[in-house]
């Protein structure tokens, strides 16, 4: 059974940092480009970042460039999202997903507030 399990979400103050993790199982993680997608409360889906299978190529939406870093550890079948200089507008549920959207995690809530 395919599973993507996110962790790391919590309440954080503006300007602080947070790191999300996504543990994958049930499929060959290293063969799939991966992505983070977020959903602000009561809003639609918004792509955040994508990483290639090797991790050598990464892509970000403009609003998070320079603040967020996507990475992966294929030996551990784990995807990461390092989020720095967090802003209130980053408040959302963050989903780990394959880049072609066929597998999704359960999501983790990140709240940025003082």
Would you tell me which residues interact with other proteins (CB under 8 A)?
A: 35, 37, 44-47, 50, 59, 61, 95, 97, 99-102, 104-107
Q: Least distance (Å) from other proteins to the CB of residue 42? A: 11
Cα separation of 22 and 11, whole Å?
A: 18
Query: Looking at beta carbons only, is 50 or 78 nearer to other proteins?
Result: 50
Query: Looking at beta carbons only, is 86 or 107 nearer to other proteins?
Result: 107
Q: Least distance (Å) from other proteins to the CB of residue 73? A: 23
Indicate the pairing of strand 11-12 with strand 108-112.
Answer: parallel
- Measured in degrees and rounded to the nearest 5, phi and psi for residue 89 equal -75, -5
Query: What string of DSSP letters covers 56-77?
Result: --EEE-GGGTTTEEEEEETTTT
- Measured in degrees and rounded to the nearest 5, phi and psi for residue 88 equal -60, -30
Q: Least distance (Å) from other proteins to the CB of residue 27? A: 13
Query: Looking at beta carbons only, is 15 or 79 nearer to other proteins?
Result: 79
Query: Looking at beta carbons only, is 47 or 67 nearer to other proteins?
Result: 47
Closest Cα to residue 100, out of 57, 47, 63, 54? Answer: 47
Q: Least distance (Å) from other proteins to the CB of residue 100? A: 7
């Amino acid at each position: 059974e395919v599973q993507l399990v996110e962790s790391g979400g919590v309440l954080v103050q503006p300007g602080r940092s947070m790191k999300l993790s996504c543990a994958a199982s049930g499929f060959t993680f290293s063969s799939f480009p991966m992505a983070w997608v977020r959903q602000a409360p009561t809003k639609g889906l918004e792509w955040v970042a994508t990483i290639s299978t090797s991790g050598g190529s990464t892509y970000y939406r403009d609003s998070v460039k320079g603040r967020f870093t996507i990475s992966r550890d294929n030996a551990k079948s784990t995807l990461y999202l390092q989020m720095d200089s967090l802003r209130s507008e980053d408040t959302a549920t963050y989903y780990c997903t394959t880049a072609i959207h066929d597998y999704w995690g359960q999501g983790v809530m990140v709240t940025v507030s003082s």
